[in-house]
Amino acid sequence: MFDIVARSTRPTPAHCLIAGPLLVLTLMSLVPVSLDAAQGDKTEVFPVQKAAPAVVFIETPGSEAELRRQLRGKNGVAALRSSTSVIRFSIAPTGSFGFIPPKLLGMALITQSPDLPLEQMPPTTNAYEIHKLADGSGMLVGFVEADLKPQLTPSQRPKNVRLGLYSNPSSKAPHIIAVPLVKLVVDRMPTRLDPKEPGSAVLFEMDLQSTANRTSSQTGP
């Protein structure tokens, strides 16, 4: 009797044929859906939110040309090359820089426009420089006073910093910096230091936030 029950509960070859494929299917369901993604191919299922870059601050003294050269090297950007004189930031190649007049920059930041019209050459002597980094993020270049550095350092920066960004260097604002566009909040237009001179240096007051708070066109080739 016991022997009969034992034989009846022992798996038969037919049962193994059924259970085998079921086990394989169960294990396959645990494998990642995309083997290409596991092998390193750029297959993205969900969009990735990239963190805004930190402020870049150059402390070494130098001429305006030398300071700009150092900052461009640190950000890994080269002169913008395009078949047209004006190109939108969204379609400008990554790793490049261009220029924008203060008035257009002010209007774009006040209205929180996600795109900026860039020119290959400075249209005016007080034009602001824009960097498009390798990851597609945008940086606004300008000059600041020396006492702002401790507040702009990422490890020490509070949630909100009121920032005066000059278009050109001076004894008052000798340090060149690059600030992330997506962290800027602007409520007023830039002002010329010499109202009678159209090409005089410009002061642009803005708030630098600790987190991104505006939409930016961070795309490109």
Q: Taking 70 as the threshold, does the pLDDT of residue 131 lie above it? A: yes
pLDDT at 100: 97
Q: Is 29 exposed, middle or buried (0-12, 13-18, 19+ CB in 10 A)?
A: exposed
pLDDT at 25: 45
**What is the tens place of the pLDDT at every residue in 157-215?**
667 889 999 999 999 999 999 999 999 999 999 999 999 888 899 999 999 987 766 55
pLDDT at 102: 96
pLDDT at 193: 93
Q: How far is CA 102 from CA 88, 126, 142, 183, in A?
A: 16, 7, 11, 18
Q: Which residues contact 25 (CB under 8 A, 6 or more apart)?
A: none
**What is the tens place of the pLDDT at every residue in 132-149?**
999 999 999 999 998 888
Give dist(CA 181, CA 139) in Å, integer. 5
Q: Name 55's bridge partners.
A: none
Mean pLDDT, residues 116-125: 95
Q: In terms of DSSP H, where are the helices of the chain?
A: 2-9, 13-28, 35-38, 64-75, 102-110, 149-152
**What is the tens place of the pLDDT at every residue in 56-111?**
999 888 999 999 999 999 999 999 987 788 999 999 999 999 999 999 999 999 99
Mean pLDDT, residues 110-130: 93
pLDDT at 213: 60
Long-range contacts of 76-81 (CB under 8 A, 24+ apart): 76/133, 76/134, 77/131, 77/132, 77/133, 79/120, 80/118, 80/120, 81/120
Q: Strand 184-185 to strand 202-209: parallel, antiparallel, or no bridges (unpaired)?
A: antiparallel
pLDDT at 20: 52
- 3-class SS of residue 171: coil
Q: How far is CA 165 from CA 42, 59, 175, 184, 189, in A?
A: 39, 16, 10, 11, 12
Give dist(CA 118, CA 88) in Å, integer. 6
36 versus 76: the higher-pLDDT residue is 76
Closest C-alpha among 197, 119, 201 to residue 165 = 201
Q: Is 46 exposed, middle or buried (0-12, 13-18, 19+ CB in 10 A)?
A: exposed
